[in-house]
Structure 1
Amino acid sequence: MAAAGEGAWRPADGEHDSYQSPLARRYASADMCFLFSDRYKFRTWRQLWLWLAEAEQTLGLPITDEQIQEMKSNLDNIDFKVAAEEEKQLRHDVMAHVHTFGRCCPKAAGIIHLGATSCYVGDNTDLIILRNASNLLLPKLARVIARLTDFAKEHAGLPTLGFTHFQPAQLTTVGKRCCLWIQDLCMDLRNLKRVQDDLCFRGVKGTTGTQASFLQLFEGDHQKVEQLDKMVTEKAGFKRAFIITGQTYTRKVDIEVLLALASLGASVHKICSDIRLLAHLKEMEEPFEKQQIGSSAMAYKRNPMRAERCCSLARHLITLAMNPLQTAAVQWLERTLDDSANRRISLAEAFLTADAVLNTLQNISEGLVIYPKVIERRIRQELPFMATENIIMAMVKAGGNRQDCHEKIRVLSQQAAAVVKQEGGDNDLIKRIQADAYFSPIHSQLDRLLDPSSFTGRAPQQVQRFLEEEVYPLLKPYESVMKVKAELCL
């Protein structure tokens, strides 16, 4: 059989006959995909050309109302086929769309892109998309936090075995553990909002950022050039523009944005790894639908496929942070074009991946299931060893000798451990203590000494204080969007 691309069999062309990004096809929301679509991008280019023309007209350049109206009427009239043909000839995407826009705006064709450079539409559109894409992510992240907050509040006092190094450790509570997840996500919410708030518009800066072309258009009037920059910035909905740019806005902006998303990816990976571990222990499960199949071979399985998907996508999101770091490092002088192809991929994929991860995590957090009896059984297996210090203290208070008691406990503990490890039996330390006459002074206290809630410290109180002081205030701006449910396409 011929190798692919060398006469190999191919079906008729169609939507299933060419590679399509799984991010768009399987995982990310339609809203996020639209923000990174050609239609949204090139429509925004046209909107930027219109804003520029309107501002230039207001400041006295010879641009007519008829030309402005013609541009307004054709913002959505994009002939993508013509634009592609133009780009194939010109090898310049911006000029291809200048010509395409000019074809449907013959009266305005001569003033479209007046005084601007390609980065006027390219970079400013990217900044608009980064801002608007963040607007899509922030409520989704807030909803994930809110769902986990409800879960943490409900289980604030439910004791569970803690783990360090994935080895049994002191008890915590289910709600307290969930707050560890929430705390990381709250940091991500604050970080992403800060990055969004820090976004500046590139504005109207010209070919190398000096605004020389606009200064010439306005015959040396510096004030009008500054007004032009300010007017277009306000039309685009930004509070401020960069004062200093080269041909592009500094690519360190992309670093800030993608690092915030990568940090979110790290948080989600940690949370979903924890869920997967707890699913293995049968203490917690993600939602599992009635018709869902866990394995094609092993019919009994309930694999945590949603959490696994989150981990898989989160790893991709984390690795994408390397792209803007390396791109910013190699920008020569006022600019070089080796950022372009990379940014087309990395910026879009970062937001689509973050969107997919949050959609999936919200779905998980809306249907988390815990199994208290399994949790209780595991506590019973480990708590007797943890309770030995309390038992020794109680014996001393009852008149016993600390050293004698410690030796008794040591011997009995080793015997019980042998039953667990060598025979596969249950931890019978308490039964051994109950059967030993030496411990008769505290036999009546054993139930109280072994109450799991007495081993969780201030975990319930910490949950309450954390939610009230840190989480609820952070979520307040998002109250109006909290009812949206997460549905997975696949």
Structure 2
Amino acid sequence: MPSAADSTLPSGRRSLAATDIALGPLDGRYRVDAAPLVDHLSEAALNRNRLHVEVEWFLHLTEQAVLPGLSPVNAEQRDGLRSIVTGFGPEEIAELAAIERETVHDVKAVEYFIGRCLPALGLEALTPLVHFACTSEDINNLAYALGIRDAVREVWAPTAQRVVDQIRELGEAHAETPMLSRTHGQPATPTTLGKELAVFAHRLDRQLARIGRQEYLGKINGATGTFAAHVAAAPAVDWLEVSRTFVEGLGLTWNPLTTQIESHDWQAELYADVARFNRILHNFCTDVWSYISIGYFKQIPVAGATGSSTMPHKVNPIRFENAEANLEIANGLLDTLAATLVTSRWQRDLTDSSSQRNVGVALGHGLLALNNVAKGLRQLDVAGETLADDLDHNWEVLGEAIQTVMRAEAIAGTPGMDNPYERLKELTRGHRVDEARLREFVGELGLSDGAEGRLQRLTPGSYIGIAAKLARRA
């Protein structure tokens, strides 16, 4: 295996490994789409959140005066400590990386980094208070919870909501546009395009509501969750209360009972809900793709874009196909994370450490899919003539209405309404029935005047029930 410094590969080709080229698509081809997550789920963002947790724990301990001689720092010192976090940029990232190369431990490097900042603030004597009574997981679980929470709330969920709003708005615009349904791929009782879109908007909204109620749990209770070191150092302190107020002060939900690790159950719950949202959106993409294939949707050509490298007439539904692929990749990772993170050997193993570093990749592929769906929707136009023509060639779908009216007539005492289903089955199954034959059939049934009038006025395009009303409910 050649090193990054090698100039050529065994094949004789020039090596690209030493250049600034991304291995993964989210950091390469699709970086613009995934970039908003970098501020929350990159390694640098994780370290910034670790600094945040360490600094706030330091301040919390001084404010609570948990140790003899400990008192709150002054306002200037407090602001100086917090500026370690707010000022964390490229130079600080490089300095922290250099410390980690020495410690070979990421959280210990954060502790030392903060310790180096204390003398300038007049707090050198309090250096032992940094990372006081903490295990690495006390810091990591809170840092990850903060990063994941902010990534979901500030990036993924708003993007998802905008896509759902697009679907809803398109549905509202076509609430009354009649469309032939297909059940099992066969012509079925008509609906409206708007109602079918509203179903997806409603389903996706439910998942967003669940995600919006998600708790982001955190703990700070020592090496095995017993507060043993805390009690050994300060036995009179109510460490449960100190822990609770600290975690809740970070804007997280306190988990009082853990092993060395926070159990990650909340992450499994979140990833299951996000994956379910993705699966519904995937279903939406395959339906839209299918409607495009039968001409219900027309794609608006983009100036200068190539649909096919050899067939100039084509405008391929690439946005929805790209979204499908990325939703599948996202869910493969989300499902793995949900299954892996809820399990730990005894009090601690490191499988979660490697796993959690891929949360950004999972959400990144989902974000890429959402952006593709949004772009695809903006390039759709409804082919009203195709919808109307399809309905006009399927008058047999009124068979359901006729046999149901016959049942109602039979209950009301109208004679001659025997075997309605079988009579319509004989008329319609296996062959097309045009308007003239269907109206003739209705006229021969002997229905009451009101019932016959309703059926004679009915067309495939008007046989939509309250679909328009349902569409507007979304």
**TM-score scaled to structure 1, two decimals?**
0.79
**Pairing 1:159-308 to 2, within 5 Å after superposition:** 159-195=178-214, 198-202=215-219, 204-217=220-233, 219-223=234-238, 225-238=239-252, 240-285=253-298, 288-308=301-321
Q: Does 1:348 align with 2:360?
A: yes
User: Which of residues 114, 121, 128 in structure 1 aligns to 2:146?
Assistant: 128
**Equivalent residue for 1:451?**
459
- Cα distance in 2, alignment partners of residues 405 and 339 from structure 1: 63
- Structure 1 residues 35-434: aligned runs within 5 Å: 35-60=40-65, 61=67, 62=70, 65=74, 68=78, 70-75=80-85, 76-77=87-88, 79-106=92-119, 107=124, 109-136=127-154, 137-195=156-214, 198-202=215-219, 204-217=220-233, 219-223=234-238, 225-238=239-252, 240-285=253-298, 288-328=301-341, 330-345=343-358, 347-384=359-396, 386-387=398-399, 390=402, 417=431, 429-430=434-435
In 2, Cα distance between equivalents of 1:222 and 1:249: 22
Residue identity matched to 1:382: N
Asked whether the 8 Å contact 1:23–1:349 carries over to 2, the reply is no
Equivalent in the alignment of 1:460: 468
Partner of 2:5: none
Identity of aligned residues (%): 19
Mapped contact 1:23–1:353 kept (Cα < 8 A)? no
CA gap of 1:446–1:43, structure 2 versus 1, over 3 A, is: closer
The residue type equivalent to 2:232 in the other structure is Q
Q: Structure 1 CA distance, aligned partners of 2:405 and 2:241?
A: 78
Q: Distance in 1 between matches of 2:422 and 2:165?
A: 50
Aligned partners of 2:395 and 2:459 also within 8 Å = no
Letter in 1 for 2:246: V
Q: Aligned AA for 2:218? A: F
Residues 189, 397 of structure 2: 8 Å contact kept = no
For residues 424 and 54 of structure 2, what CA distance do their matches in structure 1 show? 82
Change (3 A) 1:433 1:341: closer
Whether the aligned pair in 1 keeps the contact of 2:55 and 2:81 (CA below 8 Å) is: yes
5+ long unaligned stretches in structure 2: 3-7
Question: Aligned partners of 2:115 and 2:37: how far apart in 1?
Answer: 29
Per the TM alignment, residue 118 of structure 1 is displaced from its structure 2 partner at its CA by 0.8
State the shift of 1:412 in Å.
Answer: 7.8
Per-residue displacement from partner, 1:86-118 (whole Å, max 9, x unpaired)? Answer: 333433111123223333444364432122111
Cα offset, 1:308, TM superposition: 0.9
Contact 2:403–2:421, Cα closer than 8 Å, also in 1 = no
Q: Which AA in structure 1 matches 2:346?
A: L
2:388 and 2:461 in contact (8 A); partners too: no
CA distance in 2, matches of 1:46, 1:413: 72
Question: How far did residue 167 of structure 1 move?
Answer: 1.5
**1:409/1:360 Cα in 2 relative to 1: closer, same or farther (>3 Å)?**
closer
Preserved CA contact (<8 Å) 1:172 1:459: yes
Measured at CA, do residues 101 and 455 of structure 1 come closer, stay the same or move farther in structure 2, by a change above 3 Å?
A: same
Q: Kindly provide the amino acid, as one letter, of the partner of residue 237 in structure 1.
A: G
204-213 or 31-40, larger mean C-alpha shift: 31-40
What SS does the corresponding residue of 2:30 show, helix, strand or coil? Answer: helix
TM-score, normalised to structure 2, is 0.81
Residue 378 (structure 1) shift: 0.8
Distance of aligned partners of 1:191 and 1:408 in 2 relative to their CA distance in 1, 3 Å threshold = closer
Q: Which runs of 5+ in 1 are unaligned?
A: 418-426, 468-490
Verify the 8 A CA contact 2:275 2:331 in the aligned structure 1. yes
Give the secondary-structure state (helix, strand or coil) at the position aligned to 2:348: coil
Count of equivalent residues: 443
Q: 1 CA distance for matches of 2:261 and 2:465?
A: 55
Contact 1:433-1:439 within 8 A present in 2 as well: no
1:411/1:130 CA distance change after superposition, 3 Å: closer
